[in-house]
Amino acid sequence: MSANVQPDHIRERIVTNRGVAALFVLLSVWSLYLHIRDVSSRFTVPEYFWVPRIFHGVPGLVLDLFMYAGFVIVILGLFGSTRDRVEKTGIIACFASRILKPIKMLFPAYAAAIWWVDLGFILAFFLASVAVLLRLSKRDSASDDFIDPPTT
């Protein structure tokens, strides 16, 4: 009996270029800097999910929820498009602050604790982006080390 063989369309990695990986490292450092610089924000409770309310009342809430749902769909699409566990960790950690925002809105008494959890996710994003960059650098240096054997 032969097994049903289906073509595999899921890529091994999303980031295959060292320049893009270095950009993610810089973005994670910048995000970490902005998060730590504004320590007083750990006590503030956001009033919107994605964008400041353009429309007031129900239309603004519907637009905000629609944009938030689209954002979550994009995150799930990125998460499903790679097999690399380090990249999956980086994707989750990168977008965790936007995912945690509704929780912070629902439980304003725990805003400071959620801020610390968000800081942990930003640190995880930094570590994952550094790991991806190091993995790509190691792979590129291994291919550069291969030299044709001398002929005797």
Taking a C-beta distance cutoff of 8 angstroms, is the pair 46, 105 a contact? yes
Task: Look up the domain containing 49 and give its range.
Answer: 44-141
Q: What is the pLDDT along the chain (152 residues), one digit of tens a residue?
A: 555 555 556 667 777 778 888 888 998 899 889 888 877 777 777 776 666 667 777 777 788 788 888 888 888 888 887 788 888 888 888 888 778 888 888 888 888 888 899 999 999 999 999 998 888 888 766 555 455 555 66
Number of domains the chain contains: 1
Question: Is 20 within a domain?
Answer: no
| Contacts for 91 with CB less than 8 Å, ≥ 6 apart | 75, 78, 79, 82
Question: Is 86 within a domain?
Answer: yes
Question: Is 32 within a domain?
Answer: no
Residue 147's pLDDT is what? 54
Query: 137, 142, 139: which is closest to 19 by C-alpha?
Result: 137
Question: Is 64 within a domain?
Answer: yes
> pTM score, two decimals?
0.72
Question: Is 3 within a domain?
Answer: no
Residue 135's pLDDT is what? 87
Question: Is 80 within a domain?
Answer: yes
Question: Is 2 within a domain?
Answer: no
For residue 52, CA distances in Å to 26, 31, 123, 145 come to 26, 20, 26, 52
Question: Is 34 within a domain?
Answer: no
